[in-house]
């Protein structure tokens, strides 16, 4: 173990096709909710036993639609002591929704996830980290709906879809009182770069990722690791029409995903987001006083 700083491990629970529908063209024949659900169920079950073996608890950001389609996987995740959080209703970028659509989707998703899991839902992560300068309004709606924290902001300026450049890194309280746990970044030549999740976690050499987690922890800053079920489990649809570039970007190291992840999870201390916020007394009083919380 590195020092006393704990990190968070999170899973954005969605299928491969719905995850990428807004990123590149996927032919109609691959779009099937049943197949997507089968893939999610297999992969999440794999991750649950994988985490059980490593004795690690994580935060699972579920799409609200999964509470309708495959509720048992949410019940099982909660039963094993992981935190249940919300990843919107369907995998649609927030800045493409109206405020009313967003509010209705999230209210419904939060309630469904709470009813199915029997636990309170405190946290939110936007699909494709889509709380950007164009959709900052979403943070007030999250606060209004009783969320305690958001983990959607990527403090980077180089991605074509997401990111807010030169914004605060590290856990902080937003002006409206909501906690923000931004996605982790590393500083290289004065630029903030992503390194701790998804494709970045697969594409970078592990030594680089671990070096920056260690560096961050030595300053007392927790890191946020995130993965998708298909990056760790065995089920990932092969879409032959994808370009070589896309194939590399989306499939590289998926086969060895669990081995790489196991190494990182063993090298550092991890817990759920809500546990980390409570331990650091970020949300202590709010947890006791918030009437929306069971």
Q: How far is the CB of 65 from Zn ion (least distance, A)?
A: 12
79, 124 in Cβ contact below 8 A? no
Q: Which is nearer to Zn ion, 153 or 283 (CB)?
A: 153
Q: Which is nearer to Zn ion, 66 or 283 (CB)?
A: 66
Choose the binding region for Zn ion from 125-133, 139-147, 197-205, 216-224 (rule: CB under 5 A): 125-133
- Gyration radius from the chain CA atoms: 18
Take residue 76 and report the two structure tokens written for it.
């099982």
DSSP sequence for 231-276? GTSS-----TTS-HHHHHHHHTTSTTHHHHHHHHHHHS-EE-HHHH
- Biggest CA–CA distance in the chain, Å, is 52
Residues 14-53 that bind Zn ion (CB under 5 A): 14
Choose the binding region for Zn ion from 68-76, 121-129, 245-253, 262-270 (rule: CB under 5 A): 121-129
Q: How far is the CB of 126 from Zn ion (least distance, A)?
A: 8
Choose the binding region for Zn ion from 1-9, 126-134, 144-152, 261-269 (rule: CB under 5 A): 126-134
Q: How far is the CB of 108 from Zn ion (least distance, A)?
A: 18
CA distance 190 to 166: 11
Q: How far is the CB of 219 from Zn ion (least distance, A)?
A: 28
Q: How far is the CB of 19 from Zn ion (least distance, A)?
A: 6
CA distance 235 to 220: 36
Among 10, 12, 204, 213, binds Zn ion (CB under 5 A): 12
Q: Which is nearer to Zn ion, 13 or 283 (CB)?
A: 13
- In sequence order, the β-bridge partners of residue 48 are none
Q: Does 127 sit near Zn ion (CB under 5 A)?
A: yes
CA distance 194 to 198: 10
Q: How far is the CB of 48 from Zn ion (least distance, A)?
A: 19
CA distance 273 to 63: 17
Q: Which is nearer to Zn ion, 86 or 283 (CB)?
A: 86
Take residue 291 and report the two structure tokens written for it.
């009437």
- In sequence order, the β-bridge partners of residue 186 are 193
Q: Which is nearer to Zn ion, 14 or 231 (CB)?
A: 14
Choose the binding region for Zn ion from 13-21, 70-78, 159-167, 235-243 (rule: CB under 5 A): 13-21
- As a residue count, the chain comes to 294
Q: Which residues of the shown chain bind Zn ion in the complex (CB under 5 A)?
A: 12, 14, 127
């Amino acid at each position: 173990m590195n020092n006393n700083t704990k990190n968070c491990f999170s899973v954005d629970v969605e299928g491969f096709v719905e995850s990428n529908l807004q990123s590149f063209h996927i032919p109609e024949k691959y779009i099937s909710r049943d197949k997507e659900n089968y893939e999610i169920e297999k992969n999440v079950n794999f991750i649950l036993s994988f985490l059980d073996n490593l004795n690690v608890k994580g935060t699972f950001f579920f799409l609200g639609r999964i509470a309708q389609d495959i509720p048992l996987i949410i019940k099982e995740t909660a039963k094993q002591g992981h935190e249940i959080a919300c990843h919107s209703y369907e995998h649609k970028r927030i800045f493409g929704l109206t405020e009313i659509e967003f509010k209705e989707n999230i209210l419904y998703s939060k309630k469904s996830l709470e009813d199915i899991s029997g636990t309170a839902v405190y946290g939110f992560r936007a699909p494709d980290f889509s709380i950007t300068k164009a959709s900052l309004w979403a943070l007030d709606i999250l606060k209004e709906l009783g969320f305690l924290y958001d983990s959607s902001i990527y403090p980077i300026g180089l991605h074509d879809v997401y990111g807010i450049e030169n914004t605060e890194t590290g856990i902080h309280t937003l002006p409206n009182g909501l906690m923000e746990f931004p996605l982790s970044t590393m500083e290289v030549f004065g630029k903030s770069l992503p390194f701790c999740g998804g494709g970045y976690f697969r594409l970078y050499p592990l030594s680089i990722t671990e070096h920056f987690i260690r560096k961050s922890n030595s300053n007392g800053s927790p890191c946020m690791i995130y993965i998708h079920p298909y990056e760790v489990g065995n089920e990932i649809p092969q879409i032959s029409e994808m370009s070589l570039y896309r194939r590399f970007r989306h499939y590289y190291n998926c086969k060895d995903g669990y081995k790489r992840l196991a190494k990182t999870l063993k090298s550092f201390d991890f817990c759920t987001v809500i546990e980390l916020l409570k331990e650091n007394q970020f949300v202590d009083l709010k947890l006791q006083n918030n009437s929306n919380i069971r």
